Structure formats: C-alpha cells, structure tokens
Amino acid sequence: MSSSTQGATLSTNVVGLVDGSSASHREVSVFDGLPIYVKELIAGGAAGAFAKTVVAPLERVKILLQVKKEKRYCF
C-alpha cells in the first residue's frame, strides 16, 4: 500500500468517525449503563431461577422414589 493510499484511507476513516457514518457502529444495550454489581446480581438471579426450575422436579421424583412403600428388592 502506498503512502497516498494510506492517507486517503485514514482521512476517510476520520471523516466517518466525525460525521457518524462509520461502518463499525456499536449497538447500545440497556445493560451498558448499569454498574457491574447490578449486572452480576441480575445474572445470578437468572442463573438461580433457571437452576431451581430445572432441579426442583428432579428432586421431587427422587424423594418420591425414596419414600415409596413398595419394596422390590429383598435381601
């Protein structure tokens, strides 16, 4: 790449940044403005809710099998 081509590319990038027409726009999320501890609190709450939702039915089945009256195995 020649020096003039590099200069033209640089000036195009600078103009794009100044007028806001740069191709590398970053989408802004609702969570970008939150402090890190709030993000961690939300993530922990979501993970805990998901874990309880998945594990609770399995634990219920386990308990039902443990207290079942019928014994199949005799020693």
Residue type, 10: L
pLDDT at 13: 57
Looking at per-residue confidence, does 25 or 12 come out higher? 25
Q: What is the structure's pLDDT at 64?
A: 92
Q: Where are the domains of the chain?
A: 3-66
* pLDDT at residue 9, rounded to an integer: 57
Residue pair 7/15 in contact by the 8 Å Cβ criterion: no
pTM recorded for the entire structure: 0.46
Residues 28-72 have pLDDT tens digits of 787 788 899 999 999 999 999 999 999 999 999 999 999 987 766
The pLDDT of residue 1 is above 80: no
Q: What is the 3-state secondary structure (H, E, C) of 25-67?
A: CCCCCHHHHCCHHHHHHHHHHHHHHHHHHHHHHHHHHHHHHHC
Read off φ and ψ for residue 2, nearest 5 degrees: -80, 170
